[in-house]
A = this chain, B = another copy of it.
Amino acid sequence: MVSLKAVRPAISCSSSGLESGPSVPLPKVGFVKLPLPAPSPSLGLNVSNNARLSLVQATEESAVSVANDRAAVISGQNLRQMATNGKATNILWHKSSVGKLHRQELLQQKGCVIWITGLSGSGKSTLACALCQALYSRGKLTYILDGDNVRHGLNRDLSFKAEDRAENIRRIGEVAKLFADAGIICIASVISPYRRDRDACRALLPEGDFIEVFMDVPLQICESRDPKGLYKLARAGKIKGFTGIDDPYEPPLNCELVLPQKGINYASPCEMAETVISFLEEKGFLQA
């Protein structure tokens, strides 16, 4: 018999800085997928307080260490740091009491950025989707930052001239960093032709959390696919500065994964997704 204790709606509010008392530890939670509809007491799962099953709290010894970790995090100079950054001065850093580790625990995964780079038509979006789906089937939360999509929103003010392309990548890198900090496996799918721009994004993340995946598909093949008809327009001179045609693509020198792998030239998107997932598993990203 597993006895589960319902969480009472409790708001612990140690982070305000207005109070001087010690912080109340956040409850440590573990997730398990259970049969739905919700098991009833007759199934032997004992839920007290008539709580919804999703509000059942874990109690465990190791919560103490979490509380201690947390106390360390929210104390001292991490709490607020005065800084001058970029063009703005007098900017304070606000540290929240719920940090990346807590979110990762909730999600049972580690936040990271999977940066898929390659020519137009090399299969970046296809791989991103296959990855997203395969990870979802494992209960993992992903989010795709698609280069094209972002240009409809956040980066709608940017053109394709050199400095705007760099700014496009910089912003995607910064947003990907926020998603990784949120505990999400963020899949960025962007041509990102220049090494220096990709490296700048890598430098935003903690060591190991930026996983560069190069879609190593020859220009000739990408052009023969031409899924959006863009190569045709570029060859006709209707698009200027098109990567691979009249603008360079700099392949990664030291990326984490090259796909398709040599000898598996016709790997399906699912097989390529499996390769990435094996990498993630090996590096421990698929658990908290």
Interfacial residues of chain A within 74-113, with CB under 8 A of chain B in the complex? 80-88, 90-98, 102-103, 106-108
Chain B contacts for A91, CB-based, 8 A: 126, 148, 151-152
Chain B contacts for A18, CB-based, 8 A: 126, 268-269
B143 and A93 within 8 A (CB): no
A130: interface (CB < 8 Å): yes
Chain B contacts for A132, CB-based, 8 A: 96-98
| 1/0 contact string of A198-229 vs chain B (CB within 8 Å) | 00000010000000000000000100111110
Chain B contacts for A261, CB-based, 8 A: none
* From B30, B53, B85, B133, contact of A11 by CB (8 A): B133
Q: Which residue of B lies closest to A106 (CB)?
A: B141
| 1/0 contact string of A1-38 vs chain B (CB within 8 Å) | 11110010111111111100000001111111111111
User: A11-B130, A91-B148, A274-B11 are contacts. A54–B36 as well, Cβ < 8 Å?
Assistant: no
Chain B contacts for A87, CB-based, 8 A: 156-159, 164, 266
A146: interface (CB < 8 Å): yes
User: A136-B106, A175-B175 are contacts. A35–B54 as well, Cβ < 8 Å?
Assistant: no
Least distance between A231 CB and chain B CB atoms (Å): 11
Cα A82 to Cα B183 in complex, Å, equals 32
Copy tally for this chain in the complex stands at: 2
A139: interface (CB < 8 Å): yes
Interfacial residues of chain A within 228-253, with CB under 8 A of chain B in the complex? 228, 230, 233, 239
A44: interface (CB < 8 Å): yes
B133 and A15 within 8 A (CB): yes
B33 and A57 within 8 A (CB): yes
Chain B contacts for A95, CB-based, 8 A: 125, 129
A13 and B154 within 8 A (CB): no
A71: interface (CB < 8 Å): no
Interface residues of A (CB under 8 A from B): 1-4, 7, 9-18, 26-39, 43-45, 52-62, 80-88, 90-98, 102-103, 106-108, 123, 125-126, 128-130, 132-134, 136-139, 141-146, 148-149, 151-160, 164, 167, 171, 174-175, 177-179, 181-184, 189, 204, 221, 224-228, 230, 233, 239, 266, 268-270, 273-274, 277, 287
19 interchain pairs (CB within 8 A)?
A4-B32, A7-B33, A10-B137, A11-B277, A12-B137, A17-B126, A32-B56, A52-B287, A54-B287, A83-B224, A85-B156, A86-B152, A88-B159, A94-B189, A96-B144, A98-B129, A141-B141, A154-B175, A171-B171
